[in-house]
Amino acid sequence: MPSVVGLLEEHELAARRRVDGLREEADRIQAEQAAAEQEWQEWAIARRRVGTVLAPDDGNIADQKAAPGPQNTDTLSGARQAAKPKSQVPVWREGLDWSVLSVDYQRILAALADRHRLHQGPLSCQELAVMFGLDAAPAKVEALRSKAKRLVARGWLAERQPGRFTLAQGPAGQGGAS
């Protein structure tokens, strides 16, 4: 008859092998996820750059080139509407235009409207940060989460799954910006 200590050692060895196997699989999946996220970021950058090139240029392209720093379509449209610091987010109602919101809120709505139009699922705040070209640092993600939660509370967005945001019924029914 095998000893109790021997049986315990066998079970411990089997459990350790399982943990080691799962760690290897997790490392492989994390590496695959990092490669997929990198590819996603590259496609998002490409889309923004093509959007910048194809954006209507309000007259003279030299004016846009003279401005320092990188620009994308979000920046160009946002520059035309000055953001108000600590601006209020009104409760959504029929006929209310997105222009009542600050540029940051409009960017969130535009990203989710694109997802809605393409019949894609909701986005997390980390995915939004990456989509906007922001560093996915906790401070940036939490700032986006705060804005998204405010939009949910005011009826602009819906959070059907915790941490996953999509357009609410009303704004989605308008097909994006009204």
- What is the pLDDT, as a whole number, of residue 56? 66
Residues 101 and 89: beta-carbon distance below 8 Å: yes
CB 171 within 8 A of CB 156: yes
- Looking at 14, 46, 72, the residue that finishes a domain is 72
Q: Do 110 and 165 sit in the same domain of this protein?
A: yes
- Residue 137 counted as domain residue: yes
> Side chain identity at 76, as an amino acid letter?
L
CATH of the domain at 148: 1.10.10.10
- Residue 178 located in a structural domain: no
The verdict on 66 and 149 lying in the same domain is no
Q: Are residues 65 and 105 in the same domain?
A: no
Which stretches within the chain are classed as H helix? Answer: 4-54, 61-66, 73-80, 103-117, 125-131, 138-153, 169-173
Domains identified in the chain, total number: 2
Residue 121 contacts residue 158 (beta carbons within 8 Å): no
> In the chain, which stretches have pLDDT less than 50?
58-86, 176-178
Residue-level pLDDT at 178: 41
pLDDT at 58: 46
Q: Which domain holds residue 105?
A: 81-173
Which residue type, as a one-letter code, is found at position 148? A
pLDDT of residue 67: 38
pLDDT at 84: 45
pTM above 0.95, yes or no: no
Please give the Cα distance from 71 to 44 (Å, whole number).
14
